[in-house]
Structure 1
Amino acid sequence: MVAFPAIFRSLIRSSSPKSFFLAITKFSNSFLGLASIYTKSSFFSFTSVLCHHLKNQNLDEARFIFDKIPLPSVHLCTKMIAGYAENCRLDDALKLFYKMPVRDTVCWNSMIKGCLGCGSLNMSRKLFDEMPERNVVSWTTMINGYLQFGRIEVAECLFLEMPMRDIAAWNSMIYGYFCNGRVDDAMKLFEGMPCRNVISWTSMISGLDQHGKTNEALFLFQQMVVSGVEPTSTTFSTVITACANGPHLQLGVQVHALVVMLGYSFDAFVTASLVTFYANCKQIDECYKVFNEKLHINVVVWTALLTGYGLNHKHEDALKVFSDMIKLGILPNQSSFTSALNSCCELEALDRGKEIHATAIKLCLETDAFVANSLIVLYSKCGNIKTGVVIFKNICEKNIVSWNTIIVGCAQHGYSMWALAFFTQMIRVGVDPDEITFTGLLSSCSRSGMLQKGRCLFEYFSQCKAIDMKLEHYACMVDILGRSGKLEEAEELVKNMPMKANTMVWLALLSACRMHFDFALAEKSAYCIFDLEPHCSAAYVLLSNLYAAAGRWNDVARIRVKMKGRGIKKQPGQSWLTLKGQRHVFLSGDRSHPSCEKIYKKLEWLGEKLKEIGYVPDQRFALHDVEDEQKDVMLSYHSERLAIGFGLISTVEGSTITVMKNLRICGDCHSAITLMAKIVGREIIVRDSSRFHHFRNGFCSCGDYW
């Protein structure tokens, strides 16, 4: 016999059949209701956990939960598919998609978008073609996909085939046209739009500004305001950026007033744009006022101020901003590091650059291409190309800027074989060279006397359709030929250039004439320069130095009188080095430095040591008509030697001394410093106007060819 609960036994004994039946029905309904509540609660619990795992990219755990749900809805399936696609597990997404018994349009659209996100344009098109029903989102997603892959013509065809277009589809095509450089098509489409929203106007303003049509962009903004369309924060950021690019100070101030009036003044991206705008317009005080209106925690605003100070050559202020960011716990991004490192470069502050480098390492940004490129420039510019090479090798994804930076850096330091080796690697990994690559390679050949390699590279790039030959490339080739003594060939190249030679090209030829004492060609080159640029001081100085080296003092006097008559002043030679964040500058024969007595005493000691090992001053580089003994004294106290003397008395034994010079190092100083480095047992690095010289153990990295 079935065992009934006590309540049912009492009902059977005391109640009529009808009462008993009603009691049973009531109990059953209550039981089913509780079961339903329990089932719904479990469903919501499963869904919640599933969404949590998808949000945290725990896909396997999410799939485990998903498989526990008896009959997952189309919505849940779509979520799971989107999770796979977002994490580039396209095969898993497709398997689940094709296993679904029912698929709605949202699911199809999600799968198409997932394929595009994973880079599979063909699969997304296959799904699009298989769709039983397409809506406007389906068409727009596919159009965006073709635009994303640069297939603008196919996107155009799809756009024209659309049975019905919404405003998002029109906006997508406008954006796509601008991304592919088809500005006129974008303008034509915008004019033909049946209706426009704020995104349409903003896309047009941004696109025009980015393609150099800033005035047209700002005029369009004025039309937008007149049309009664209220700008958004994105619109204001775009318009203010256009005002900065102009720069259009007056209009930008008016836009700033509108920003305040509509309540967007505390939006982080609008603030960042305003800071950049005032910085570009050289209104650095206004720039800081905008920044200071509110305590910002957004890294974009801080980076805008940091970059603004750098643009206005306030590099100390820029580095202080970077330091304040760290103190306040605002983590710098790639742009912050790039701007801060650029300021270090301008200040030649390697020690501070190393501190920023350490911060980049802590934040795991050292291998980021943008940060690493700036680090390579810093170390290269401050004389440490080997560290630059190490940083380059550690970059995760090298871009064209990375390759160009290391090639140019190696060229500046005279490591021509390294530059060529990097170029070979660059070609091998499929990165196409550009004009900067070409300039760097030719410069490396010029600084190492690699005549045949330079000729081969010049011929190779001349035939490369992707490279636009520019005047600086011809100047480099003239320099290669001229330095190698091929003056006639260099002159022929200048005469047969497809464009008219400018001052830079003629100066390269004049400099070669100075090196090889070709007076006739030197005078011809100099007068060509005077025709192009009558006040070019470099041409007068090179010609004067050529006459002085040959002892033609009357010609020297004639050149100097002409310079004085035309108000042309020779740039004074100066050298400097940076110690503990302070720059120490020296002129030839300078006695104004606080440590001048110790410096001169050190140089006198070095002078004695130089004589002991057979050094004899080369008086050809004393460019004044004075007695021989006085010439020797003048050569002994050139600015670079004073800077080296200060470095020797101010730094620890064995450390490297790095000196910067604004003019080309003279031949006598080059010979003397080569021996000085051997005497003191240190590496001495001198960067002149042409290149870096690394002096160590009685040799220079340039191989006495510079």
Structure 2
Amino acid sequence: MPPFAAIFGYFKSSPKTFFASPFVFSFAFAKFSRSFKGLSSSSQSSGFSFSSVFSDHLKNRKLDEARAVLNEIPSPSVHLFTKMIMGYVENYRLSDALELFYKMPFRDMVSWNSIIKGCLDCGDLEMAEKLFDKMPERNVISWTTMMNGFLQFGRVGVAERLFSDMPARDIAVWNSMIYGYFRNGRVEDAMKLFERIPYRNVISWTSMISGLDQHGMSDEALLLFQQMVNSGIKPTSSYGLNCKHEDALKVFSDMMKMGILPNQSSFTSALNSCCEMEAIDRGKEIHIVAIKLGLENDVFVGNSLTVLYSKCGNINDGVATFKKIDEKNTVSWNSIIGGCAQHGCGTWALTCFTQMIRAGIDPDEITFTGLLSACSHSGMLHKGRCLFEYFSQCKSIEMNLEHYACMVDILGRSGKLEEAEELVRNMPMKANSMVWLALLSACKMHSNLELAERAAKCVFDLEPHCSAAYVLLSNLYAFSNRWSDVARIRRKMKQRGITKQPGCSWVTLKGLRHVFHSGDRSHPLSEKIYQKLDWLGEKLKGFGYVPDQRFALHDVEDEQKEAILSYHSERVAIGFGLISTVEGSTITVMKNLRVCEDCHTAIKLLAKIVRREIVLRDSSRFHHFKDGFCSCRDYW
């Protein structure tokens, strides 16, 4: 359907909805304007070809439907056969892939290389080796694929012989062999081969640096890093990607001390490490360096800064850095839309989306996820429905399970539980546990036990050991005072060896993460923390706070329930923050689970009592508590 026809059809079916959503209209019109210019008369009249339907089925993992379409195509090309083969192997249907490969009327080098790689990916080294031996001719990709396969299965000697027999070797072959040596613990062989490489690129250097570091040779790795920089090779992110974020920041610091000016890649790596460590103070220091070097407005540095500030609880600075980016790309817009969504700034997110379209930047699947998340966290049911309806008709966006989980979340949070269940059961693809968990979570929020039990059963059918589903159902039983059902669920978890993820909260201070559990007294400052919490408890009573004992979730006496609630992990973390930071400063706490409603009520009052802003990120979103109110407006 041409873009204009899609717009007209959308308007005709729901004119009020269409005009009530200016961001949808601006997006649709912009898409129409750009698409119309590129349309030819033939493309308008041809409709969907077999190959486009075939590709759509493959993208949606509907392999049998894709194969049926392929069978209907007269004289399909080798390229289509190869795509079908790769679709099979990506879903571990190797026998189907081999059957189709042998049926192909003609096989080119790409199809041979694809089936060999598919065999290796599916764990069948023997079949891959047989096919390699049968190849009528081989290119460097064929040799490299097979060599990597032997290295993957630990057959280093055979890989070495293959490496020696290659008629020609490019730099990728040398790099693969070095990586394979490290993977199999052959450090000295890797070092010797590195010395023999006729030409080294950045991958050669970073493979060596990360390999040495992973084998406990960090000093040698740093020395090699210095040699790499001196040889004119720009460093990449070899530490950040390996989750050695402290080391990555040390390397960045060493670069500065050595007088080596970091480039965009170095800044991005360092800022990403700060983000993963939630070390916003160190990120701010790197931000200052970027400003001094004139890189603050660079798109890659700006994107990383936007993500850093947003994920560490400071959405205002995230927006400020985003605005300074000179040439914003899709990642830029997705970063700020996602950040606004996490902080419950739904209107900001939709405004950014409108600006994105006006700037001529096409949204993608990540944009759609961010927008739906924004609607969910801001309680914008109508906007969420409009977006979901429009994007489901947009051919440039591929709907996936995450989008449906977001829409279920939007409906569920708004109390539309039956509509949410109907959406799940009528999805064009099979719902996974993530989608059913979204519905189950909404059932707990609205205390709908009957639907919760149905949703939980669907989760267990798909994922029998899903601890989250057991915990949600158990908590709902506890909330309803059905303690025998709570005991039954806990027995079942114990019998099946399923453990509940323990709730914890943490505060990052001067680069150190301080982690707390409920009732935790292991911290060196525990005595002072609990003195502060007891003082706050008395103040809370003066403000009329009464603990909601339903959220203790234990069948104990009322006094014990009150004590359990008073020392939830987020409150302990806040107590630590209050005694460890200067008066008036913002306290930022991270929590791995959803904050309970009783703690949410208490923290609103705590922020008013201590006259501080308290930022709490739970598993759902960020909460900004100030002057007795929360940014979520009690909707999360």
Q: Which amino acid aligns with 2:614?
A: I
CA distance in 2, matches of 1:221, 1:187: 24
Say if 1:532 and 1:303 are closer, same or farther in 2 by CA, change over 3 A: farther
Say if 1:557 and 1:398 are closer, same or farther in 2 by CA, change over 3 A: same
Say if 1:241 and 1:381 are closer, same or farther in 2 by CA, change over 3 A: farther
Number of residue equivalences: 498
CA distance in 1, matches of 2:230, 2:621: 37
Equivalent of residue 409 in structure 1, options 319, 328, 339: 339
Instruction: Quote the offset at 1:704 in angstroms.
Output: 0.3
Instruction: Quote the offset at 1:251 in angstroms.
Output: 11
Q: Which amino acid aligns with 1:249?
A: R
Structure 2 residue 371 is matched with structure 1 residue 438: no
Say if 1:227 and 1:365 are closer, same or farther in 2 by CA, change over 3 A: same
> Over residues 201-241 of structure 1, what are the superposed CA-to-partner deviations in whole Å (9 max), with x where a residue is unaligned?
xxx868999x999879x999998964654x5xxx32x3355
Equivalent of residue 278 in structure 1, options 207, 211, 229: 211
Instruction: Quote the offset at 1:411 in angstroms.
Output: 0.3
Equivalent residue for 1:508? 438
Instruction: Quote the offset at 1:297 in angstroms.
Output: 5.8
Structure 2 residue 259 is matched with structure 1 residue 317: no
CA distance in 2, matches of 1:299, 1:509: 56
> Over residues 631-666 of structure 1, what are the superposed CA-to-partner deviations in whole Å (9 max), with x where a residue is unaligned?
111111111111111111111111000000011000
Equivalent of residue 569 in structure 2, options 612, 626, 639: 639
> Over residues 237-289 of structure 1, what are the superposed CA-to-partner deviations in whole Å (9 max), with x where a residue is unaligned?
x335556899993599767644423565xx5636424336638xx83536763
What residue ranges of structure 2 are gaps of 5+ in the alignment?
1-106, 114-138, 153-157
CA distance in 2, matches of 1:613, 1:517: 28
Equivalent residue for 1:601? 531
Equivalent of residue 628 in structure 2, options 669, 692, 698: 698
Say if 1:380 and 1:471 are closer, same or farther in 2 by CA, change over 3 A: same
Which SS does the other structure have where 2:615 is aligned? strand
> Over residues 186-209 of structure 1, what are the superposed CA-to-partner deviations in whole Å (9 max), with x where a residue is unaligned?
969x9xxxxxxxxxxxxx868999
Which SS does the other structure have where 2:620 is aligned? coil
Matches within 5 A, 1:232-311: 235-236=170-171, 238-240=172-174, 249=183, 257-261=192-196, 264=199, 267=200, 269=202, 271-275=204-208, 278=211, 283-285=214-216, 289=220, 292-293=223-224, 295-296=226-227, 298=229, 304=235, 307-311=237-241
Equivalent residue for 2:614? 684
User: Would you say the 8 A contact 2:147–2:159 is kept in 1?
Assistant: no
State percent identity of aligned pairs.
66
Equivalent residue for 1:67? none
Say if 1:680 and 1:377 are closer, same or farther in 2 by CA, change over 3 A: same
Equivalent residue for 1:565? 495
Structure 2 residue 493 is matched with structure 1 residue 543: no
User: Would you say the 8 A contact 2:475–2:553 is kept in 1?
Assistant: yes
Say if 1:276 and 1:418 are closer, same or farther in 2 by CA, change over 3 A: farther
User: Would you say the 8 A contact 2:174–2:197 is kept in 1?
Assistant: no
Matches within 5 A, 1:53-452: 226=165, 228-229=167-168, 235-236=170-171, 238-240=172-174, 249=183, 257-261=192-196, 264=199, 267=200, 269=202, 271-275=204-208, 278=211, 283-285=214-216, 289=220, 292-293=223-224, 295-296=226-227, 298=229, 304=235, 307-452=237-382
Equivalent residue for 2:554? 624
> Over residues 111-169 of structure 1, what are the superposed CA-to-partner deviations in whole Å (9 max), with x where a residue is unaligned?
xxxxxxxxxxxxxxxxxxxxxxxxxxxxxxxxxxxxxxxxxxxxxxxxxxxxxxxxxxx
User: Would you say the 8 A contact 2:205–2:228 is kept in 1?
Assistant: no
> Over residues 599-651 of structure 1, what are the superposed CA-to-partner deviations in whole Å (9 max), with x where a residue is unaligned?
11111221111111111111110110111122111111111111111111111
Q: Which amino acid aligns with 2:375?
A: C
Instruction: Quote the offset at 1:590 in angstroms.
Output: 1.0
Q: Which amino acid aligns with 1:393?
A: K
Say if 1:476 and 1:270 are closer, same or farther in 2 by CA, change over 3 A: closer
User: Would you say the 8 A contact 1:299–1:330 is kept in 2?
Assistant: no
Instruction: Quote the offset at 1:555 in angstroms.
Output: 0.6
User: Would you say the 8 A contact 1:271–1:301 is kept in 2?
Assistant: no
Equivalent of residue 650 in structure 1, options 555, 580, 602: 580
> Over residues 349-370 of structure 1, what are the superposed CA-to-partner deviations in whole Å (9 max), with x where a residue is unaligned?
1111111111111111111111
User: Would you say the 8 A contact 2:405–2:435 is kept in 1?
Assistant: yes
CA distance in 1, matches of 2:428, 2:274: 40
Which SS does the other structure have where 2:588 is aligned? strand
**Which is bigger in relative contact order (C-alpha 8 A, separation at least 6)?**
2
User: Would you say the 8 A contact 1:342–1:374 is kept in 2?
Assistant: yes
User: Would you say the 8 A contact 1:369–1:395 is kept in 2?
Assistant: yes
CA distance in 2, matches of 1:435, 1:243: 36
> Over residues 553-585 of structure 1, what are the superposed CA-to-partner deviations in whole Å (9 max), with x where a residue is unaligned?
111111011111111111111111011121111
CA distance in 2, matches of 1:241, 1:227: 15
Equivalent residue for 1:533? 463
Equivalent of residue 454 in structure 2, options 480, 501, 524: 524
> Over residues 511-570 of structure 1, what are the superposed CA-to-partner deviations in whole Å (9 max), with x where a residue is unaligned?
000011111110111111111111110000000000111111111111011111111111
TM-score by length of 2: 0.72
Say if 1:561 and 1:318 are closer, same or farther in 2 by CA, change over 3 A: same
CA distance in 2, matches of 1:381, 1:212: 42
Equivalent residue for 2:398? 468
Equivalent of residue 512 in structure 2, options 574, 582, 604: 582
Equivalent residue for 2:383? 453
Which SS does the other structure have where 1:630 is aligned? helix
Instruction: Quote the offset at 1:699 in angstroms.
Output: 0.8
Say if 1:486 and 1:317 are closer, same or farther in 2 by CA, change over 3 A: same
Q: Which amino acid aligns with 2:248?
A: A
Structure number with greater Rg is 1
CA distance in 2, matches of 1:260, 1:420: 54
Q: Which amino acid aligns with 1:682?
A: R
Which SS does the other structure have where 2:366 is aligned? helix
